[in-house]
Structure 1
Amino acid sequence: MLSLLFRWLVAASVLIHCAAHAQTQARPATVRVDYTHSGNALSDTYALEQVLIEPLPWPGDTARSLDNTNRGQNRVEVADAKTGDLLYSRDFSTIFGEWRTTEEASRISRSFSESVRFPKPDRPVKVRILKRDDRNAFSVAWSVEVDTDAPDVARKQPPAPAAPIPIHVSGPSPRKVDLLVLGDGYTQAEMKKFELDARRLAAHLFTVSPFKERAADFNVWALAVATSESGVSRPSAGVHRASKLGTRYDIFGSERYVLTLDNRALREIAQHAPYEFIEILVNNETYGGGGIFGQFSTAAAGNEWAPYLFVHEFGHHFAGLADEYYTSPVAYAASSARMEPWEPNVTALRDPNQLKWKRHVKAGTSLPTPWPKAAYEEASRAYQKRRAALRAQNRPESEMNALFREDLARTNALFAKQAHRHTIGAFEGANYEASGYYRPAMQCIMFDRSEAFCPVCQDGIADVIDLYAGPARP
């Protein structure tokens, strides 16, 4: 009996393996184009670095190749080189795009490595990078012809430095959103800790709507390459670590902003797992994170607020949601223009009758919508002063966490008694600006450290889920 059961299990395993192999064989390869993006606040240029075939097949559904969300500062288009027929497109933003709004970009030029990925075409193509112009429309910034069958296209990649761990697998990759959780700053002895961190935070993501209701549309994988030291660099505190992804704090002079500027290192590790989106967990206790639409997001896994950081920053990366807060110091210079933002959850409110989330606004709602703005700002100024003092004095992280809890409790108490507490309208103060920009709700996870996305942000997220794993398209 045991022998028969063993043979049945072996046969079943072989069938599953063969089915998976057949599926892999039927899927196109993944092409990656690496290029440099250089410039300053006034101008920018592009230059090709390399074209390569990644080790794993294209994770996406080739029937969902065109992006209709109209988000991001940039768009990649892949078109037939002869006919001009559009084969693939995706919207995204870049670290360069953020950097060029900083004060440093008005003084010097810098170069950033960037990448775009797409399913391998069966013909030569033109790869176009578009950017938003003065009319907020996309126009071509750079174009390069690519023949993915050319001899100089790299096809042999180094062996995988680590095996991806399945965290939450709902089905074949082409029918799902593939999220890759990468670890940085975990030593070999901390690999189990990384897996537990990835499982804990991914599980939390699926307690937050609309991810909760759409959990079956996701696959989550985890991958980390061990480092020799625990944690990542935090230069403002004199901490420097050689990590595999180059992730660090203090990006653009903001002590809490965590990114990697080493795109090549990121892509060469990530390519060994199926992915369309990436969240990097840094093995640090200090509060921090970041998110770039269509690139990656980060979160300090050891911080008390890691669940919030994971979800908030993923909102930036996954759906292009804007920050709705405006009293915290940021690295970006304020813009004198009030162009309507492309982000789905903030507006310049040019015409209340054309409000982008008007379907959520009940008739008779005041636009702008009143809220206790002055009282909130007065409390926030005092809170920010205490926060800056704690960092300047290098106080224990527990004191910062306690301040965050106190601030959230004060905000909740202030908002609890407001008539428009649960109203969807247009609340002034968003997008790092106290005036001129408006958010949909008084409170949302994109505004403070609360626990839920407002209905407008939920719509923005659902649109992207549908792009990758929604109902079948006609």
Structure 2
Amino acid sequence: MNLLLALLLAASPPSAPGPRTFRVDYFHTGNATEERFSLDRLVVEPLPWPGSPRRAIDETNLGKYLFEVRDRETNRLLYSRGFASIYGEWETTPEAREVNRTFHESLRFAAPDKPVQVLLKKRAKDNSFREVWSLTVDPADMFVDPAVPASPGPLVKLLENGAPADKVDLLILGDGYTEKERAKFEKDARRLVDILFTFSPFKERKRDFNVWGLMPAARQSGISRPSTGVHRDSPVGATYDAFGSERYVLTFENRRFRDIAAFAPYEFVEILVNGNTYGGGGIFGLYSTVAADSLWSPYVFVHEFGHHFAGLADEYYTSDTAYAPSEERVEPWEKNVTALKDPTKLKWKDLVAAGTPLPTPWKKDEYEAHARQVQEQRRRIRAERRPEADMDALFTAQRDWEEPFFRAEKHAGVTGAFEGAMYEARGYYRSQLDCVMFTRDRVPFCSVCQRSLSEVIDLYSGAGGKSP
């Protein structure tokens, strides 16, 4: 064992003896109608696997994709996880109808002691998973890379409640912070973590979490924002304007991101970017992002974390998006929205009180008229490159109009099926009038979202999941 690895393991957070973390890095290439996969490299990460063998099999039925790890000799299922990807979002954009693109992705699992088969599956329109790629992984292969990359900096314990194998492990990963801003990163991270645990069900399940912080030092403060001519080579590679959406923050540097994150035990990652422009993003099972200094960072952090943590769908539908409209109304795999083709089979029917009409009526036209005015002003502010304070004032005025509007509704607080969700005004429904996944209002997650979030906490914390 080399000296750096020995020091890393000695300084790592408490963990029961177990295998290291194994990673399959691969390229995902294609367009709106076809896709291909090719292996990049096989990696053994420096720290032990943070998951528990008691919760190896994922039965949440979440994700656009699913990967399985099976024993090569017996075909026995050893591990599985559903997830989504940047490619999975990009293939729904107009650009994907015109060109091919390649994205880098990773699959992580406990290092096997003998050959395994890794299968990648994609969800079909009928919501079944179908195999799209597979490869044999031999841990004894001479090309498996055990090298330890350069350390990104000290690991900060933001919240520690036990061994990683027994907890949900969340990593707060800073991007765009210089070495002189390290104290600012830690202050920003602690502030947002505290906010997360004011929302149910995280509040009630706080003891089921560990939260870690990592901040690789940037040469320049801030991240890229191409729409304004700002380009930064930040350590994690986060950037505004993903898919041409000015507020959408992602990193397309997956290999760089994974090599940095490998220095912490993690199942979930929040990329905390150093900036004040409104923005963020979240992809199920990959990461979520937020601009730390935005007035709306508490809302964006919690909303985007809902995407990342439990695959919650966006329930809003009046904001501009990068995605092309659906050609047909298929039932979403996300648990907080539905196409409602058969109200008797509503996926959250058990939460609906007797006598609640389905679909559930609300003053949709009045809401949409106001929302259109807000969107017109929003586009004008960005086009004129006005100060961020102008956008903050617009969003505050919008919230001050929406909150009393929803409180006055007949079915306020009721679980039903309210039309308007998933960027579409018609054909998709959300479970409650208002929710963290719908507006920037000061509201909790709806009951359906809370249930889905709790299910994922159970999977990683020891309250649920299956052994192989």
* Equivalent in the alignment of 1:338: 329
Alignment partner, residue 354 of structure 2: 363
The question of 1:453 aligning with 2:445 is answered yes
Name the counterpart of 2:391: 400
Paired letter, 2:190:
R
For 1:245, the equivalent position in structure 2 comes to 236
Give the counterpart letter for 2:187 in structure 1. L
Are 1:50 and 2:35 counterparts? no
CA deviations over 1:175-206 (Å, ceiling 9, x no partner): 10000000100011111000000000001000
Structure 1 CA distance for aligned equivalents of residues 171 and 417 of structure 2:
35
Q: Matches of 1:431 and 1:107 in 2, distance apart?
A: 24
Change (3 A) 1:188 1:338: same
Map residues 187-266 of structure 1 onto 2, 5 A cutoff: 187-266=178-257
Spell out the pairing of 1:418-433 with structure 2 (5 A cutoff).
418-433=409-424
Q: Structure 1: how far apart are the matches of 2:296 and 2:113? A: 47
Instruction: Return closer, same or farther for 1:193/1:79 CA change in 2, 3 Å cut-off.
Output: same
Per the alignment, residue 371 of structure 2 pairs with 380
SS in 1 for 2:417: strand
Per the alignment, in what secondary structure is the counterpart of residue 26 of structure 1?
coil
Change (3 A) 1:23 1:306: closer
How many pairs are equivalent?
458
Deviation by residue 1:349-375 (Cα, 9 ceiling, x = unmatched): 011111111111000100000111000
Aligned residue identity for 1:380: A
| 2:27 match: secondary structure | strand
1:121: which partner in 2? 112
User: How big is each residue's C-alpha offset from its partner over 1:254-308, in whole Å with a ceiling of 9 and x where there is no partner?
Assistant: 0000000010010000000110000001101000000000000000001001111
Relative distance call for 1:45 and 1:19 in structure 2 (3 A) is: closer
Matched, 1:289 2:277: no
What does residue range 24-63 of structure 1 map to in structure 2 within 5 Å? Answer: 24=15, 26-63=17-54
CA–CA distance in structure 2, aligned partners of residues 136 and 283 of structure 1:
38
Matched, 1:305 2:299: no
* 1:468 is aligned to 2:456: no
Name the CA distance, whole Å, in 1 between partners of 2:68 and 2:364. 42
Residue equivalent to 1:103: 94
* CA pair 473-108 structure 1, distance change in 2 beyond 3 A: closer
- Taking a change above 3 Å as real, the CA distance of residues 25 and 365 of structure 1, as seen in their structure-2 partners, is closer
TM-score w.r.t. length of structure 1: 0.94
Against the structure 1 CA distance between its residues 238 and 325, is the aligned structure 2 distance closer, same or farther, given a 3 Å change threshold? same
Per the TM alignment, residue 462 of structure 1 is displaced from its structure 2 partner at its CA by 0.2
Question: In structure 1, what is the Cα distance between the partners aligned to 2:17 and 2:295?
Answer: 44
Tell me the distance in 2 between the aligned counterparts of 1:107 and 1:64: 42
2:140 pairs with 1:157: no
Q: Does 1:148 align with 2:110?
A: no
Q: Which 5+ residue runs of structure 1 have no aligned equivalent?
A: 1-16
Deviation at 1:87, TM superposition (A): 0.3
d(CA) in 2 for partners of 1:188, 1:232 = 15
Structure 2 equivalent of residue 347 of structure 1: 338
Partner of 2:167: 176
Deviation at 1:135, TM superposition (A): 2.0
Secondary structure of the residue that 1:72 maps to in structure 2?
coil
1:139–1:156 CA distance, 2 compared to 1 (3 A):
same
Instruction: Give the letter for the 1:279 counterpart.
Output: E
Deviation at 1:473, TM superposition (A): 6.3
Shift of 1:161: 2.2
CA offset at residue 121 of structure 1?
1.6
Name the larger-Rg structure.
Answer: 1
Name which structure has the greater RCO, CA cutoff 8 Å, separation 6+.
2
SS state of the match for residue 282, structure 2? strand
Shift of 1:18: 12
Note if contact 2:168-2:457 (Cα within 8 Å) is conserved in structure 1: yes
Deviation at 1:23, TM superposition (A): 6.6
State the Cα RMSD in Å: 1.6
Once structures 1 and 2 are overlaid, which stretch shifts more, 220-229 or 319-328? 220-229
The structure 2 residue matched to 1:90, chosen from 53, 76, 81, is 81
Query: For the residues of structure 1 that align with 2:13 and 2:95, how far apart are their CA atoms?
Result: 51
Partner of 2:306: 315
Distance apart, 1:409 and its partner CA: 1.2
Alpha carbons of structure 1 residues 465 and 24: separation in structure 2 relative to 1, 3 Å: closer
Against the structure 1 CA distance between its residues 195 and 34, is the aligned structure 2 distance closer, same or farther, given a 3 Å change threshold?
same
TM-score, normalised to structure 2, is: 0.96
Percent identity of equivalent pairs: 54
Residue identity in the other structure for 2:305: F
Would you say the 8 A contact 2:45–2:146 is kept in 1?
Answer: yes
Q: Secondary structure at the match of 1:425?
A: coil
Matched letter for residue 222 of structure 1: G
- Call closer, same or farther: CA 1:172–1:382 in 2, change over 3 Å: same
